[in-house]
């Protein structure tokens, strides 16, 4: 518990070769031109051509490199050196220009040494961070004036519900605190992990919004969605690569996305006019 970063890094280092080889990530499909970005992300982020983008907690960089294909100048940061090595290899294989840096997200400002038009963070990232206030301050420090954060995540509402049906409130939404998990497999369901323990942190939606606002960023939108990207509850039904509750069941929030902008640069004060000549 006191050394969550070491525990989680060992866990994620072990996931890298499994994930790279998995059908779930389909690296070969990506190399052939596949795009892992979701349609709502492309719509909400907008045109990235010519813009600088940093992807925090980028894993082995598929989403990062996808933004490069859409025209952004990209940087990816991840705390797993093995993930960063894999990202660099894939970038070279695809002949995509990208910078990848191995560092903890809380050290991103010093590790990267530059600022960006867009800070992007992908699905399933915040659960690995104990301090959202510090994270949001890091994001704000990485943004150029007029730039923005784009975050898409799993909705914390679903964590209250039972795993079988997703219809019974079984867990305390306000419980908080870190949770220690010991799972022999990663979510791609392939070969077993060597380091099976991980430490994760639950964050309520209000925490996320409050941290972003307190860091000086202006919330542009918060969109909630009634679908997710995997079978979170056994009762869920597949719907073209998405998963929803069965027809006739009340819809619940399963994902959300947030965009928040930094203040634009202030215009320089006009040069004062010369004083009128003395008569």
Secondary element (H or E) of residue 119: strand 116-121
DSSP codes joined into one string, 4-52: HHHHHHHHHHHHHHHHHTSTTT-HHHHHTT---S-HHHHHHH---TT-E
Q: Yes or no: say if 55 and 64 are a contact pair by the CB < 8 Å rule.
A: yes
Long-range contacts of 102-107 (CB under 8 A, 24+ apart): 102/77, 102/78, 103/77, 103/79, 104/5, 104/79, 105/56, 105/57, 105/77, 105/79, 105/129, 105/135, 105/138, 106/131, 106/134, 106/135, 106/138
Strand partners, 169: 161
pLDDT at 217: 98
The two tokens of residue 173 are 């939404």
Q: What dihedral angle (degrees, nearest 10) is formed by the CA atoms of 228, 231, 232, 234?
A: 140
Measure CA 274 to chain center.
52
pLDDT at 126: 96
pLDDT at 275: 52
| CA 239-242-245 angle, 5° bins | 70
Give the Å distances, CA to CA, from 11 to 4, 77, 86, 88, 174.
11, 17, 16, 20, 27
Each residue's pLDDT tens digit in the chain (279 positions)? Answer: 569 999 999 999 999 999 999 999 999 999 999 999 999 999 999 999 999 999 999 999 999 999 999 999 999 999 999 999 999 999 999 999 999 999 999 999 999 999 999 999 989 999 999 999 999 999 999 999 999 999 999 999 988 888 778 888 988 988 877 999 999 999 998 789 999 999 999 999 999 999 999 999 999 999 999 999 888 888 889 888 899 998 888 898 999 999 999 988 776 555 554 454 544
Q: Yes or no: say if 37 and 67 are a contact pair by the CB < 8 Å rule.
A: yes
Please state, in angstroms and rounded to a whole number, the distance separating the CA atoms of residues 118 and 139: 10
Q: Which domains does the chain have, with CATH numbers?
A: 4-261 (3.40.50.150)
Number of residues written out for the chain: 279
pLDDT at 49: 98
Instruction: State pTM to two decimals.
Output: 0.92
CA-closest candidate to residue 228, choices 241, 218, 216: 241
> Crossing angle for the helix pair 62-69 and 81-94, nearest 10 degrees?
30
Give the Å distances, CA to CA, from 246 to 160, 235, 237.
19, 7, 6
Please state, in angstroms and rounded to a whole number, the distance separating the CA atoms of residues 226 and 212: 23
């Amino acid at each position: 518990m006191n050394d969550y970063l070491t525990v989680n890094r060992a866990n994620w280092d072990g996931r890298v070769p499994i994930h790279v080889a998995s059908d779930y990530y389909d690296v070969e499909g990506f190399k052939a031109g596949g795009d892992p970005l979701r349609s709502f992300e492309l719509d909400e982020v907008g045109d990235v051509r010519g813009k600088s983008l940093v992807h925090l907690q980028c894993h082995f960089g598929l989403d990062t490199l996808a933004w490069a294909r859409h025209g952004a100048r990209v940087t990816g940061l991840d705390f797993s050196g093995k993930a960063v090595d894999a990202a660099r290899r894939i970038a070279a294989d695809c002949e995509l220009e990208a910078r990848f840096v191995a560092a903890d997200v809380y050290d991103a400002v010093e590790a990267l040494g530059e600022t960006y038009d867009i800070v992007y963070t992908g699905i399933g990232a915040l659960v690995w961070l104990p301090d959202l206030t510090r994270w949001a301050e890091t994001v704000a420090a990485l943004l150029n004036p007029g730039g923005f954060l784009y975050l898409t995540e799993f909705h914390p509402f679903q964590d209250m519900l039972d795993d079988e049906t997703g219809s019974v409130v079984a867990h305390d939404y306000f419980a908080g605190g870190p949770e220690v998990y010991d799972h022999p497999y990663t979510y791609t369901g392939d070969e077993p992990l060597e380091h099976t323990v991980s430490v994760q942190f639950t964050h309520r939606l209000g925490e996320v919004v409050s941290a972003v606002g307190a860091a000086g960023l202006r919330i542009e939108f918060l969109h909630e969605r009634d679908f997710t990207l995997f079978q979170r509850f056994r009762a869920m039904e597949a719907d073209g690569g998405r998963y929803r509750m069965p027809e006739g069941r009340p819809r619940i929030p399963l994902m959300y996305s947030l965009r928040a902008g930094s203040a634009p640069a202030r215009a320089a004060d006009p040069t004062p006019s010369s004083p009128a000549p003395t008569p």
